[in-house]
Amino acid sequence: MTSTIDESNKEKMRSVSVDLNHDASLLIDIPDALCERDKVKFTVHTKTTLSSFQKPDFSVPRQHEDFIWLHDTLVETEDYAGLIIPPAPPKPDFESPREKMHKLGEGEATMTKEEYTKMKQELEAEYLAVFKKTVQVHEVFLQRLSSHPNLSKDRNFQIFLEYDQDLTVRRKNAKEMFGGFFKNMVKSADEVLISGIKEVDDFFEQEKTFLLDYYSKIKDSTAKAEKMTRSHKNIADDYIHISATLNSLSADDSTANKKHLEKLSDLFEKLRKVEGRVASDQELKLTELLRYYMRDIQAAKDLLYRRARALVDYENSNKALDKARLKSKDIPQAEEHQQQCLQKFDKLSESGKKELTSFKGRRVVAFRKNLIEMAELEIKHAKNNVTLLQGCIDLLKSI
Amino acid sequence: QSASEPASLPAEDISTNSNGPKQDSLFDDDPEDLFAEATEEVSLDSPERDVLLSDGPSPAITPITPPTSVLTPRIGLHDDMFTHSSFDEVKIEEEEGGDSFDIHISVSDPEKVGDGMNAYMAYKVTTKTSISLFKSHEFSVKRRFSDFLGLHSKLASKYLHIGYIVPPCAGKKHWMTKVKVGKEDQSSNEFVEKRRSALERYLMRTVKLPVLLKDPDVLQFLESSELPRAVSTQALSSAGLLRMVNKAAEAVNKMTIKMNESDAWFEEKQQHFENLDVQLRKLHASMESLVLHRKELSVNTAQFAKSAAMLGNSEDHTALSRALSQLAEVEEKIDQLHQDQANADFYLFSELLGDYVRLITAVKGVFDHRMKTWQKWQDTQMLLQKKREAEAKLQFNNKPDKLQQAKDEIKELEGKVEQGEREFEQISKTIRKEVSRFEKERVKDFKTIIIKYLESLVQTQQQLIKYWDAFLPEAKAIS
């Protein structure tokens, strides 16, 4: 299925990260995507005034794996060790709607044709929602890069945007070079290393404590928010069944009840649409917000990890220097090595501080925007419900 | 006064002071007395229900906190919904004089009596009425669960077979199943409340039938301070309606001559109730699913609230931290809202449907009784025919003694045939009236309850608006 996502929808969706894609020198978006079985093909569209690019306006097809390649190369790049690398977009996951579609197929015999059609519609909407979400999250990733002063200039980023051939070959080479080295590291080692080091800088001490704790809390909140959303979806599904059965009852009825049942069936059909929107809005504004920042915090933690490693390296280089001095051997190398480590560490600390500060600002702004929007949408939907319900009540009382 | 009868005897008429219509002696001859083992329950299980409920993880939704909302004024929404709404008045049949009296029964104050194995729940049954049948205008008695079942059993045995739609009372098996499936604690507030509400609805539906309101067993149940203990629970579960229907259906199948349905009305109505049964069961199953999911939503919202509170505590940006804490508070209030709504879903809509599924089984039973009555009449007629043929033979063979005996038997049978026809006509007439009453009642019932239910939904939504409205400035205050 191809989906062209119109501008208004995109505005609504582009919510987890604000202040992106405003710099006219480099504008990136994903205007459409194609879904073939499991594979999603994104059309990455770039508009630029920068001379470093060959053309001012161009598009390329990209797969999810290409995004991962780009992310990993950035992570592996030494120069960016002091930056928060925007989290890689998660793999498109159609498992949930697919499983539900399967279950629906199995239960088809137990429902009326109308019911089945409506359930199917709901599921197709869910497919579409997953699809839109994955497009959004891939788009935001690129826009985070384009709005970053350093990362936007990255050579590989440019290749990603411009290279009109298949990136598969490059991806393979990269894999051979790095062998997914960083990823294979045991993540738990991060925590130990980060929390283990003796921190002299108050700022980083605070950040460390904060990020470690916040990460586990936000991870939990994400999971709980997801469960809430699922319950709303279940209720919307129940409304479908109720509406369908009321309709059947109405068809069979010849008493004064007939009209009541008709109106009621109608009402529940409308209510379920609202409930569905409550679910999807909550998901977008709350669950997705939490999920995104959970990943972002992981990226921030990764930064802390790299800095911690640099500190360890520096400390080790100190020890090596002392040893060298003791032995009166290879002192200049040791001195140089120590200097390099110190420089690296200082650089990481300086850039890290900047990154973490702006990260906090970004986070606060995004939370504010999304919480406001969520509250406004909840109010809107509740008001809508009241109107629908009151309308039906008045109708029933008058019959 | 009435001796305790062992469970194996037909639970027809234990009370000695009953002056309800006596069953025909022909009925006694039936070896397959339908009320002999009144143990079966009307089953609310249907295949659809299993599909819906087995979807996804089955949550053990036991109420985490005692549902005080059920007992506090908040759920006064259901407290007066049933008993004060469609049950506002009970009009005595027009043919009785045309005056309209009113009666209102409430079941309250569930109280545990006794200890251990012999402990039981006693309920206060209060009647407020201006009907002259009663000794006073307002009075209360204490009754236990088996008393209700005993009452139903008596009424069913007296009136079902002559065409009255006697309201069923959910028996022990129904409540046991609830305990098993819902993993509910029998002594939990919620369980007690469900039962109390069901018993109240049962009594109100019962007195709505004019013929039952006048019944001495009903009067005794409502008024008597002492009630003879009803026999063992086996015999007293809801008069084995399902079993009865099954047996009647068997009898119908055994009929060699198909009933000549000259009255299309009965055929049409029977089909109508069949359809209604299927649809109501389905709707009931969907509603039960909704109740479950709404409870899940409440639980999940509460969990999220806690998580958001922790997140707020962890957040180091002051304004955002405050907003997150506020969000947690809002969600906590909302989870209570969902819990209350789930109760409304259940007590208003779901229980209404459950009641009607049971009622329709009683309706179907009454139709089947009519068929049985017809069958009896036909059988008697056939017997008469055979006796006449035998008489003709005797006359031919000139056997005067046997001839006289034959003539006597024929005379007796002729009388029975006439009676059979009368009974068939009577039950047909009663059913017509009953169905008309039932349908009118059903329409009124549904309309009233549905409106109340929708109003509960409106209340929830309006409350949601209030909560989110209060939160909005908090979110905007983040800087």
Comparing CB atoms, the residue among B458, B465, B475 nearest residue A389 is B458
Q: pLDDT under 50 in chain B at which residues?
A: 1-99, 232-239, 256-257
Comparing CB atoms, the residue among A110, A232, A368 nearest residue B475 is A368
Position with higher pLDDT, A219 vs B59 = A219
Residue B60 confidence (pLDDT): 38
Tokens encoding A277:
């929107």
Query: pLDDT by residue (tens digit) across B209-222?
Result: 999 999 999 999 99
d(CA A385, CA A391): 10
User: How many C-beta atoms lie closer than 10 Å to residue B22's C-beta?
Assistant: 11
Query: pLDDT by residue (tens digit) across A57-94?
Result: 999 999 999 999 999 999 989 889 999 999 999 999 88
DSSP letters spanning A201-266: -HHHHHHHHHHHHHHHHHHHHHHHHHHHHHHHHHHHHHHHHHHHHHHHHHHH--STHHHHHHHHHH
* The total number of residues written for chain A in this structure: 399
The answer to whether the Cβ–Cβ distance between B465 and A103 falls below 8 Å is no
d(CA A117, CA A112): 9
Residue B247 confidence (pLDDT): 61
Residue A107 confidence (pLDDT): 86
Overall average pLDDT of the A182-205 stretch: 67
Q: Measured between beta carbons, which residues in chain A are less than 8 angstroms from residue B56? A: 234
Overall average pLDDT of the A338-364 stretch: 93
- What ipTM does this complex have? 0.87
Shortest alpha-carbon distance between residue B90 and chain A (Å): 21
Best of A378, A387, A396 to substitute, by most chain B Cβ atoms within 10 angstroms, is A378
Residue B191 confidence (pLDDT): 85
d(CA B66, CA B224): 34
CB B209 within 8 A of CB B11: no
d(CA B333, CA B300): 13
The answer to whether the Cβ–Cβ distance between A107 and B51 falls below 8 Å is yes
The answer to whether the Cβ–Cβ distance between B55 and A376 falls below 8 Å is no
Put simply, whether B293 touches A (Cβ < 8 Å) is yes
Put simply, whether B272 touches A (Cβ < 8 Å) is yes
Put simply, whether B294 touches A (Cβ < 8 Å) is yes
Shortest alpha-carbon distance between residue B77 and chain A (Å): 16
Q: Measured between beta carbons, which residues in chain A are less than 8 angstroms from residue B327? A: 371
Residue B252 confidence (pLDDT): 56
Residue B238 confidence (pLDDT): 45
Query: pLDDT by residue (tens digit) across B460-474?
Result: 999 999 999 999 999
d(CA B338, CA B295): 7
d(CA B284, CA B361): 14
Query: pLDDT by residue (tens digit) across A95-115?
Result: 888 888 898 889 888 888 888
d(CA A392, CA B450): 10
The answer to whether the Cβ–Cβ distance between B311 and A218 falls below 8 Å is yes
Q: Measured between beta carbons, which residues in chain B are less than 8 angstroms from residue A249? A: 276, 279-280, 283
Put simply, whether B448 touches A (Cβ < 8 Å) is no
Position with higher pLDDT, B90 vs A322 = A322
Put simply, whether A291 touches B (Cβ < 8 Å) is no
d(CA A71, CA A87): 8
Residue B189 confidence (pLDDT): 81
Comparing CB atoms, the residue among A210, A382, A397 nearest residue B465 is A382
Comparing CB atoms, the residue among A213, A218, A382 nearest residue B464 is A382
Shortest alpha-carbon distance between residue A232 and chain B (Å): 7
Comparing CB atoms, the residue among B51, B316, B324 nearest residue A210 is B316
The answer to whether the Cβ–Cβ distance between A224 and B303 falls below 8 Å is yes
Shortest alpha-carbon distance between residue A104 and chain B (Å): 10
Asked if residue A229 has pLDDT above 90, the reply is: yes
The answer to whether the Cβ–Cβ distance between A248 and B462 falls below 8 Å is no
Overall average pLDDT of the A212-222 stretch: 95
**Cβ pairs A/B, distance under 8 A:** 163
Shortest alpha-carbon distance between residue B161 and chain A (Å): 27
Residue B15 confidence (pLDDT): 36
d(CA B236, CA B323): 59
Residue A259 confidence (pLDDT): 86
Position with higher pLDDT, A233 vs A2 = A233
Q: Which SS3 state, helix, strand or coil, does residue B107 take? A: strand
Shortest alpha-carbon distance between residue A364 and chain B (Å): 7
Q: Measured between beta carbons, which residues in chain B are less than 8 angstroms from residue A372? A: 472, 475-476
Asked if residue A1 has pLDDT above 70, the reply is: no
Shortest alpha-carbon distance between residue B426 and chain A (Å): 25
Put simply, whether B26 touches A (Cβ < 8 Å) is no
Q: Measured between beta carbons, which residues in chain A are less than 8 angstroms from residue B320? A: 363-364, 367-368
Residues whose CB is less than 8 angstroms from the CB of residue B447 and which lie 6 or more positions away in sequence, other chains included: A257, A260, A396
